């Protein structure tokens, strides 16, 4: 599979900006996914990066550096509904058929 590391928990204030980091093995790299999962619900797709750089999608942006094995998810203008777990996922080395998921970063947005 892959070794994926991301922080376990983060807390941020409503209206603020938060950055959730993810590191992974670089060999055989074939793209990196971010998913959002609210408590008790299914993961939902947020973003996919295969090239270096920042991709913006409304309040959410995702960054990738392939040479450093590093990605981050940037959430702007935080809202209470953004309280959720954010999962980083990368393909198994050498294949795009299956993903390895990180353990997820649980984000708590406070007033």
Partner 1 sequence: NAGVTQTPKFRVLKTGQSMTLLCAQDMNHEYMYWYRQDPGMGLRLIHYSVGEGTTAKGEVPDGYNVSRLKKQNFLLGLESAAPSQTSVYFCASKSGGNQPQHFGDGTRLSIL
**Site residues (vs partner 1, CB under 8 A):** 1, 30-31, 33, 41-45, 48, 50, 87, 89, 91, 96-104
Label residue 4 exposed, middle or buried (CB < 10 Å: 0-12, 13-18, 19+): buried
In whole angstroms, how close is the CB of 74 to partner 1 at the nearest point? 19
Please say which residue, 34 or 72, places its beta carbon nearer to partner 1. 34
The alpha carbon of 97 is separated from its chain's Cα centroid by a whole number of angstroms, namely 19
On whether the CB atoms of residues 42 and 105 are closer than 8 A, the answer is no
Please say which residue, 57 or 111, places its beta carbon nearer to partner 1. 57
Please say which residue, 69 or 102, places its beta carbon nearer to partner 1. 102
């Amino acid at each position: 599979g892959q070794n994926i590391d991301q922080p376990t928990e983060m807390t941020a204030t409503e209206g603020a900006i938060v950055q959730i980091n993810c590191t992974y093995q670089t060999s055989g790299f074939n793209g990196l996914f971010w998913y959002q999962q609210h408590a008790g619900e299914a993961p939902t797709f947020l973003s996919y990066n295969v090239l270096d750089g920042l991709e913006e999608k409304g309040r959410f942006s995702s960054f990738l550096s392939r040479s450093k094995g590093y990605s981050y998810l940037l959430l702007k203008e935080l809202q209470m509904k953004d309280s959720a777990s954010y999962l980083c996922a990368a393909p198994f080395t050498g294949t795009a058929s299956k993903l390895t998921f990180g353990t997820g970063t649980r984000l708590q947005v406070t007033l």
